[in-house]
Structure 1
Amino acid sequence: MSKKELSPEYRDELLSTLKERFEENRNLHEGLEWKEVQAKLEAASTDKLWSLHQMEETGGEPDVVSYDQESGEYLFYDCSAESPTGRRSLCYDREALDARKKNKPENSVMDMAAAMGIELLTEEQYRELQALGEFDKKTSSWVKTPDNIRKLGGAIFCDRRYNTIFVYHNGADSYYAARGFRGSLRV
């Protein structure tokens, strides 16, 4: 596999996994048909499939959550029950990572998302995802932090407890084994 291109074997395996997940979770994408999604994926640039593979490899279990009529794109979110296991113990961004003097995590959320070619979910998108099911009942996920909060040193994250979606804050340099991040990708 080259950096942003999947071998035919990995590509076929990814499409098979995505199809199976699509069929098992029809509630996430009512009214959409796999054959149309597959045609879009097969016509997509190789970096889009590579990004979906990265989402899958880090435990995100990407799935289609909607179709944008205006742009003609399918929207994939990380739909794993808990925050993706391969994307935990990360501070929010490079500035926060560089500011840590001791016990630095390996990476930051924003750097990892950029390297994967995906976008961090916003609070609004996180709430949209939670309307489709119950996610992060034991973990939490960093979400895109508004600039005014980030400029003051903070970052926000969300989770689901007591059948309610909570939005919290922490210093952007904090990191926890049970906090990761969820991403989105337009194809």
Structure 2
Amino acid sequence: MTKEIKNSKIQELSLEQREELLTVLKDRFEKNMNRHKDLVWEKVQAKLEANKEKLCSLNEMEKTGGEPDVVNYDKKKDEYIFYDCSAESPKGRRSVCYDREALESRKKHKPENNAIDMAAFMGVELLTEEQYRELQDLENFDKKTSSWVQTPADIRKLGGALFCDYRYGHVFVYHNGAESYYAARGFRCSLRV
């Protein structure tokens, strides 16, 4: 995904692509029941089949290495919540700075993209710090990598951005210049269906 994504949109999935994705998601769901105790795949699948746009977003999460899985169910809104559950920050979303402003501020060695624009293109949102901690309660992720998380406006206004990782048995939240990017830092997403 390059800078040109700003004005493009996700391609619709063919019937074959939808069926293939649903198979992958079902297999992951069944292999990781610890992430979604008491939830039933058939109900999740029915919601997905009724919302092709969200299925396209999940496909983008999958294509970029996120390994999305159901992590919760919001009874009030009747929505299933998916997070990226890849062991490390998704490979297809690394080496990006935080947002467009940060990208444009770089004079040399610009990354190809930024986390906020990529997430918007995919139809998803970066995890918040709270969501990142919830994810780590399920199992430990980002033992070797780190992930940008949604940054409060007051921090961003001063040029910073937040990222998290898991080291030494703890979740750490750090700050960096929003224009920074590293081969081991990407971002994780959430999607409600």
**TM-score bucket of the superposed structures, by smaller chain:** over 0.9
Corresponding residue number in structure 1 for 2:86: 80
**Secondary structure of the residue that 1:36 maps to in structure 2?**
helix
Correspondence 1:13 to 2:13: no
Correspondence 1:31 to 2:38: yes
Shift of 1:42: 1.0
1:19-168 paired onto structure 2 within 5 Å:
19-44=26-51, 46-168=52-174
Correspondence 1:170 to 2:176: yes
In structure 1, C-alpha distance between the alignment counterparts of 2:169 and 2:119, rounded to whole Å: 28
Normalising by the residue count of structure 1, what TM-score does the alignment of the two structures yield? Answer: 0.98
Instruction: Note if contact 2:143-2:166 (Cα within 8 Å) is conserved in structure 1.
Output: yes
Corresponding residue number in structure 2 for 1:182: 188
**Secondary structure of the residue that 1:64 maps to in structure 2?**
strand
Shift of 1:3: 3.7
In structure 1, C-alpha distance between the alignment counterparts of 2:176 and 2:47, rounded to whole Å: 39
**Secondary structure of the residue that 1:80 maps to in structure 2?**
coil
Runs of 4+ in 1 over 2 A off after TM superposition: none
In structure 2, C-alpha distance between the alignment counterparts of 1:71 and 1:121, rounded to whole Å: 19
Q: Deviations over 1:16-60 (max 9, x none)?
A: 00000000000000010111111111111x211110000000000
In structure 2, C-alpha distance between the alignment counterparts of 1:59 and 1:103, rounded to whole Å: 24
In structure 2, C-alpha distance between the alignment counterparts of 1:119 and 1:102, rounded to whole Å: 28
Shift of 1:5: 1.4
In structure 2, C-alpha distance between the alignment counterparts of 1:106 and 1:94, rounded to whole Å: 11
Amino acid at match of 1:79: C
In structure 2, C-alpha distance between the alignment counterparts of 1:81 and 1:106, rounded to whole Å: 24
Amino acid at match of 1:166: F
In structure 2, C-alpha distance between the alignment counterparts of 1:65 and 1:90, rounded to whole Å: 26
In structure 1, C-alpha distance between the alignment counterparts of 2:10 and 2:47, rounded to whole Å: 22
Q: Deviations over 1:93-135 (max 9, x none)?
A: 0000000000000000000000000000000000000000000
In structure 2, C-alpha distance between the alignment counterparts of 1:18 and 1:135, rounded to whole Å: 19
In structure 2, C-alpha distance between the alignment counterparts of 1:105 and 1:47, rounded to whole Å: 28
**Secondary structure of the residue that 2:38 maps to in structure 1?**
coil
**Secondary structure of the residue that 2:29 maps to in structure 1?**
helix
Instruction: Note if contact 2:10-2:122 (Cα within 8 Å) is conserved in structure 1.
Output: no
Normalising by the residue count of structure 2, what TM-score does the alignment of the two structures yield? Answer: 0.95
**Secondary structure of the residue that 2:56 maps to in structure 1?**
helix
The worse-fitting range, judged by mean Cα deviation, of 2-11 and 15-24 is 2-11
